[in-house]
Amino acid sequence: MSGQFDVQIIERDDRQARFVVRGLTPALANGFRRAMVADVPTFAIDSVRFTENSSVMFDEMIGLRLGLVPLTTPLNDFEIGDTVTVALDVEGPATAYSGDIESSDELVQPADDNIPIVELKEGHSLKFEADAVLDTGKDHAKQQGGVAVGFRHLQSVTVGDDIGEFDEQEPEILRGAIETDEGEVILTKEFDHDLTNRYPGTELTVEDVPGAYVFHVETDGSFDVEELVLRAAESLGDRADELHDAVTV
Amino acid sequence: MMIPVRCFTCGTVIGEHYEAFEERASDGDEDPAEVLDDLGITRHCCRRMMVSHTDLVDVVAPYQ
């Protein structure tokens, strides 16, 4: 296998991206996906010390919700196992939001400020201190940085002859991105996922492009997509090195 | 009770959009499908989280 992969970014913003990678085997593509899901660590609240909770939910229910709140994770400044203390103090009537969580480290903050934790009525109050731990998705799903990470074969479309004037054309539904005759990669949402909208009245052949995969990556807000993808590639490389060192005497 | 923080199936954070969805689609008169598209909740696993949720805090609160 060649050491080079050709990467082409189709769409990209902070929290989600779609890109084509050429020169992969299915196993390597899946290894890469799994690295994004399980190997890139994020901060998540792990243990909570409640000092006051007179809300309608039990401590455990609130603890579960807190664990799912994404926290920004600058991976250059922390190592796996590091903890950051956070605290919250809200008195009702009010709703406790993730944005009310105060962190002892300004680099580690809730990624979204509007997640409702619990609604507090008159006389209710919620007060706690909690530890956020940096760990990988392998350890607990709440620590996964990648969300809905997936890949599929890149498909290429070849336009054939015109179909008969009175022939009915079946819809040809595709998802993600396709490669056109000219070798251009376009998103299927541009033609509402139905190829017959783009090429009406023609015969179409759709084939998988060997070794080319379209990845769709989203993050929970802990870091941007670029960070997630690069860290995943790095961890895959590290593990390959580890295996190499282990088998060479 | 409260809207789940994340979608059960895919793990996307959806809790933050619930109040906006309620205000615009349930209390307002906008089309729920359009509101969800606008909020960026495009997968049907995430959409069902919003559409099928009922807030029970007001029901439970008197018995606390």
The answer to whether residue A132 scores a pLDDT higher than 80 is yes
Give a yes or no: residue B36 inside a domain.
yes
Chain A nearest CA to B60, separation (Å):
7
C-alpha distances in angstroms, A50 versus A56, A78, A129?
14, 26, 6
Give a yes or no: residue B5 inside a domain.
no
Q: Which residues of B touch A110 (CB under 8 A)?
A: none
Distance CA B45, CA B25 (A): 18
Instruction: Provide the percentage of residues in chain B whose pLDDT is more than 70.
Output: 98
Q: What is the pLDDT of residue A153?
A: 93
Distance CA A138, CA A143 (A): 8
> Judged by CB atoms within 8 Å, which residues 154-183 of A form the interface with B?
none
The answer to whether residue B20 scores a pLDDT higher than 70 is yes
Q: Which residues contact A194 (CB under 8 A, 6 or more apart)?
A: A171, A172, A173, A174
Inter-chain CB proximity A116 and B2 less than 8 Å = yes
Q: What is the pLDDT of residue A152?
A: 93
Of A188, A195, A138, the closest CA to residue A163 belongs to: A195
Give a yes or no: residue B4 inside a domain.
no
Q: Where are the alpha helices (DSSP H) in A8-53?
A: 26-38
| A98 vs B: CB within 8 A | yes
Whole-angstrom distance between the N-terminal and C-terminal Cα of chain A? 24
Model confidence band, residue B1 (pLDDT cutoffs 50, 70, 90): confident
Mean pLDDT value across residues B15-25? 93
Whole-angstrom distance between the N-terminal and C-terminal Cα of chain B? 14
Q: Supply the mean pLDDT for chain A.
A: 91
The answer to whether residue A99 scores a pLDDT higher than 90 is yes
The answer to whether residue A115 scores a pLDDT higher than 80 is yes
Residue B14, phi then psi, degrees to nearest 5: -115, -20
| A216 vs B: CB within 8 A | no
Q: Which residues of B touch A54 (CB under 8 A)?
A: 64
Model confidence band, residue A2 (pLDDT cutoffs 50, 70, 90): low
| Number of structural domains in chain B | 1
Give a yes or no: residue B48 inside a domain.
yes
Give a yes or no: residue B33 inside a domain.
yes
Inter-chain CB proximity B1 and A54 less than 8 Å = no
| A233 vs B: CB within 8 A | no
Chain B nearest CA to A124, separation (Å):
10
Of A48, A138, A40, the closest CA to residue A87 belongs to: A48
Distance CA A117, CA A110 (A): 12
A:B CB pairs within 8 Å: 62
What is the helix (H) or strand (E) element at residue A151, kind and residue range?
strand A146-162
Q: What type of residue is A101? A: I
Domains of chain A (ranges, CATH numbers): 6-39+146-236 (3.30.1360.10), 42-139 (2.170.120.12)
Q: Which two tokens stand for residue A66?
A: 């807190």
Give a yes or no: residue B42 inside a domain.
yes
Mean pLDDT value across residues A187-198? 88
Q: Which two tokens stand for residue A206?
A: 């759709």
| A124 vs B: CB within 8 A | yes
Give a yes or no: residue B3 inside a domain.
no
* Per-residue pLDDT reduced to its tens digit, A32-60: 999 999 999 999 999 999 999 999 999 99
Highest mean pLDDT among A159-173, A179-193, B12-26: B12-26
- B40: containing domain: 15-63
C-alpha distances in angstroms, A82 versus A34, A44, A75, A195, A216?
23, 11, 11, 50, 30
Chain A nearest CA to B35, separation (Å):
17
CB nearest A56 (choices: B17, B18, B57): B57
Chain A nearest CA to B29, separation (Å):
23
Q: Which residues of B touch A113 (CB under 8 A)?
A: 16
Model confidence band, residue B60 (pLDDT cutoffs 50, 70, 90): confident
Of A21, A3, A11, A238, the closest CA to residue A151 belongs to: A21
Q: Which two tokens stand for residue A36?
A: 């994004």
Q: What is the pLDDT of residue B41?
A: 93
Q: What is the pLDDT of residue B5?
A: 94
Q: What is the pLDDT of residue A35?
A: 94
Q: What is the pLDDT of residue A114?
A: 92
Q: Supply the mean pLDDT for chain B.
A: 91
Inter-chain CB proximity A70 and B13 less than 8 Å = yes
Of A72, A67, A105, the closest CA to residue A224 belongs to: A72
Give a yes or no: residue B24 inside a domain.
yes
Model confidence band, residue A163 (pLDDT cutoffs 50, 70, 90): confident
Q: Which residues of A touch B5 (CB under 8 A)?
A: 65, 68-69, 115
The answer to whether residue A128 scores a pLDDT higher than 80 is yes
Distance CA B50, CA A186 (A): 31
This model of the complex carries an ipTM of 0.90
Distance CA A143, CA A82 (A): 13
